[in-house]
Amino acid sequence: MKIQISDQFTFKKLLRFSLPAIIMMIFTSIYGVVDGFFVSNFVGKTPFAAVNFIMPFLMILGCIGFMFGTGGSALISKTMGEGKPDKANHIFSLLVYVALILGIILAILGIAFVRPIASLLGAEGVLLDKCALYAKVVLLALPAFILQYAFQSFFVTAEKPQIGLYVTLCAGITNIILDALFVAGFRWGLVGAAAATALSQCVGGIIPILYFSRKNTSSLRLGKTTFDGRTLIKTFTNGSSELLSNISMSLVSMLYNMQLMKYAGENGVAAYGVLMYVNMIFIASFIGYSVGTAPIISYHYGAGHPKEISGILKKSFIIIGIFSVGMFILGESLARPLSMIFVHYDKELFQLTIRAFFFFSFSFLFSGIAIYSSSFFTALNNGLISALISFLRTLVFQIAAVLILPYFLKIDGIWMSIIVAEIMAAMLSILFIFFYRKKYQY
């Protein structure tokens, strides 16, 4: 049975419609995880630390696509809800073309400046060389990576989340196979890991262009368009929270790495890398659910159906709550086996990683609330509140925590910083949801 964004949604329908987006986001997050696994086990601890050290910078550039996808989808879905399908397609085409051009520009700039940026962040010697080497290869595919992020949202808006899932699965499987071949088989080291990631990102970015460029059964198709500055500004405003969230997380990751180098050296950076792999996969579930349900909210907002929005909001918080408890249990119970997968070869690093897991897992109980709330306001085309939630959650609260807590709790304070930040962000999000209930009548 086909589910449309104009439908009325039960728990079952919400989960069925959002599941492809959840899996899409999980597989996208696997890129760094797969590279980390093969680099750690077949190349060494310093190259593993290099991948973790430079990855936040790469994610900042790639997540431009998130802004186009989430911000654009909110605008496109609202336009469709207003009964203007032709205008929706013009907006869609404009955003894809602009994202591609911007991706090319950022790739060139990134390759030119990645080494001084890595040095500025504290990398030196062999670690600096490895960071620059890995990043320059991955940045060759940045335009495709940006498009892949954007199309993850656009496929949901086009009511084809399953096709988006298939594309992401193809990209993820490509990454796994090529990592095994290039790193474990041919022993190409960091270059092999980076090449595997770059090629898989090309799969994720190019296939959607081919699909939407041809006649298809979705509600969206690439075609002729005209430049519209107001549409771009509205898209950037709507999607600023998601972009800001990802940039902030990457900036905070850089700060975490700097603090960890101070308190624990390369072992601290490597342990944090393992935590981030698990965090990316778990958080991807929340992000995927938010991405999967946002077009529904935008459509009903444009169509003037506040009761349907209210029902989706209540059901979503129940679903997020169940996800949160499940992730906390998994995080605590899988700490040892997950640490064993990545850092079994170093006893001190292994024990440090397990201890970090013990603290870090508590953050999963609260993180979903702020992530969904930010996406909810994006879907309502309220980019300001959405951005404010993301800004405080991913930047202000975390920076304050990671700078203050280590003074009192040393390295344990670094692991506990994320818990404090997520609790504060969850409380703030609930206040915003309550405050705006009358304006949006949910």
> With pLDDT > 70 as the criterion, what percentage of the chain qualifies?
98
Query: Tokens in use for 395?
Result: 């930047």
Specify the higher pLDDT residue, 270 or 227. 227
Residues 359 and 416 sit within 8 Å (Cβ to Cβ): yes
Instruction: Evaluate if residue 31 carries a pLDDT over 70.
Output: no
The alpha carbon torsion through 36, 38, 41, 45 (nearest 10 deg) reads: -40
Candidate from 93-102, 211-220, 255-264 with smallest mean pLDDT: 255-264
Q: What is the DSSP string of 238-291?
A: HHHHHHHHHHHHHHHHHHHHHHHHHHTHHHHHHHHHHHHHHHHHHHHHHHHHHH
User: Of the segments 8-17, 138-147, 152-161, which one has the largest average pLDDT value?
Assistant: 138-147
pLDDT confidence of residue 366: 95
Task: Tell me the residue length of the chain.
Answer: 442
Q: What is the mean pLDDT of residues 422-441?
A: 94
Q: In whole angstroms, what is the distance from residue 32 CA to residue 138 CA?
A: 11
User: Of the segments 34-38, 263-267, 290-294, 362-366, which one has the largest average pLDDT value?
Assistant: 362-366
Run of H or E including 65: helix 64-81
Q: What mean pLDDT is reported for the chain?
A: 89
Query: Which residues have a Cβ under 8 Å from the Cβ of 99 and sit 6 or more positions away?
Result: 64, 65, 68, 146, 147, 150
Q: What is the mean pLDDT of residues 217-234?
A: 92
Note the pLDDT tens digit of each residue in 335-362. Answer: 888 888 877 777 888 888 888 888 889 9
Tell me the whole-structure pTM to 2 decimals.
0.74
Residues 40 and 342 sit within 8 Å (Cβ to Cβ): yes
pLDDT confidence of residue 32: 60
Query: Tokens in use for 38?
Result: 């093969």
pLDDT confidence of residue 155: 93
Note the pLDDT tens digit of each residue in 304-323. Answer: 899 999 999 999 999 999 99
From the list 152, 55, 139, the residue with the least C-alpha distance to 103 is 139
Q: In whole angstroms, what is the distance from residue 151 CA to residue 76 CA?
A: 13
Note the pLDDT tens digit of each residue in 238-253. Answer: 787 667 777 777 778 7
Amino acid at 28: T
Residues 147 and 208 sit within 8 Å (Cβ to Cβ): yes
Note the pLDDT tens digit of each residue in 395-413. Answer: 899 889 989 998 888 888 9
Residues 372 and 316 sit within 8 Å (Cβ to Cβ): yes
Residues 318 and 368 sit within 8 Å (Cβ to Cβ): no
CA distances from 405 to 259, 284, 398, 411 (A): 11, 27, 10, 9
Q: By three-state DSSP, how is residue 35 classified? A: helix
Instruction: Evaluate if residue 16 carries a pLDDT over 80.
Output: yes
pLDDT confidence of residue 27: 77
Q: In whole angstroms, what is the distance from residue 153 CA to residue 155 CA?
A: 6
Sorting pLDDT into bands at 50, 70 and 90, what band is 1? low
Note the pLDDT tens digit of each residue in 54-101. Answer: 888 898 898 899 889 988 998 999 899 898 999 999 999 999 999 999
> With pLDDT > 90 as the criterion, what percentage of the chain qualifies?
50
Sorting pLDDT into bands at 50, 70 and 90, what band is 108? very high
Sorting pLDDT into bands at 50, 70 and 90, what band is 277? confident
Instruction: Evaluate if residue 287 carries a pLDDT over 80.
Output: yes
Instruction: Evaluate if residue 208 carries a pLDDT over 90.
Output: yes
From the list 252, 274, 255, the residue with the least C-alpha distance to 393 is 252
265: left (phi over 0), alpha (psi -120 to 50) or beta: left
pLDDT confidence of residue 70: 86
Query: Tokens in use for 72?
Result: 């654009």
The alpha carbon torsion through 170, 173, 178, 180 (nearest 10 deg) reads: -170
